[in-house]
Chains A and B, each alone.
Chain A
């Protein structure tokens, strides 16, 4: 049974600070890793994806992957109130296949003005 674990939170971060979200996964063979943002009552929106060990930066977002530790993280710099949402970590077994995503339950992030 593939599992993706996230701290459900809520994680409360002051506006302008760095928010750090973490995720671990059980399937060592997983190849693709994604972060989705989901506002209450809305569908998931893709924020970042990462396939290789190390860091990947896109604007205020940085995804970090450590396959040896089976650990993925998302850093949000200069946090804004609009970043308040649930962040879903998702893992895919293949690098380029059609298999679907295994999601964690998400971390509820609150940015305090």
Chain B
């Protein structure tokens, strides 16, 4: 089935050690988003790609970066994870055609920082 796949499902990293989370999609959607969701909080948009155009939210820390090498893949890089970066990271995709802009989420990566 066409879907949004995030790897890994669970990631444990050391304080300050760079970590990369990945997202792939078979929906051929041209927009890919990264959200951060902390416990009992709302998902918070970090940034998104519209095709190759990168759009960063104003309050996203510089510690968070993203790459989209092609339509199917998008990566979230955390350069120096802190304890406060422990969260569920959600990738979502959306198709910008026909006025339909619903976003579909992957299963998420739960990041633990030790």
Task: Report which of B33, B41, B96 forms a contact with A97, defined as CB distance below 8 A.
Answer: B96
B47 to chain A, nearest CB (A): 9
**Quick check: is B101 within 8 A (CB to CB) of the other chain?**
yes
The answer to whether A98 and B90 have CB atoms under 8 Å apart is no
Q: How many A residues, CB 8 Å from partner?
A: 26
Determine the main DSSP class of B at the interface with A: strand
A23 to chain B, nearest CB (A): 11
CA distance A41 to B88 in the complex (A): 9
**Quick check: is A49 within 8 A (CB to CB) of the other chain?**
yes
Residues of chain A within 8 A of B42, CB atoms compared: 4, 88, 103-106
CA distance A20 to B62 in the complex (A): 40
Residues of chain A within 8 A of B35, CB atoms compared: 100
Determine the main DSSP class of A at the interface with B: loop
CA distance A44 to B55 in the complex (A): 22
> Which A-chain residue is minimally distant from B32 (CB atoms)?
A98
> Which A-chain residue is minimally distant from B88 (CB atoms)?
A43
Residues of chain B within 8 A of A94, CB atoms compared: 101
**Quick check: is B48 within 8 A (CB to CB) of the other chain?**
yes
**Quick check: is A95 within 8 A (CB to CB) of the other chain?**
yes
**Quick check: is A59 within 8 A (CB to CB) of the other chain?**
no
Task: Report which of B44, B50, B104, B110 forms a contact with A98, defined as CB distance below 8 A.
Answer: B50
Residues of chain B within 8 A of A25, CB atoms compared: none
Per-residue contact bits, chain B 2-40, to A (CB 8 Å; 1 contact, 0 not): 000000000000000000000000000001010100001
Task: Report which of A34, A45, A100 forms a contact with B33, defined as CB distance below 8 A.
Answer: A100
CA distance A45 to B43 in the complex (A): 13
Residues of chain B within 8 A of A105, CB atoms compared: 40-42
Residues of chain A within 8 A of B103, CB atoms compared: 34, 46, 100-101
The answer to whether A34 and B102 have CB atoms under 8 Å apart is yes
> Which B-chain residue is minimally distant from A51 (CB atoms)?
B99
> Which A-chain residue is minimally distant from B91 (CB atoms)?
A43
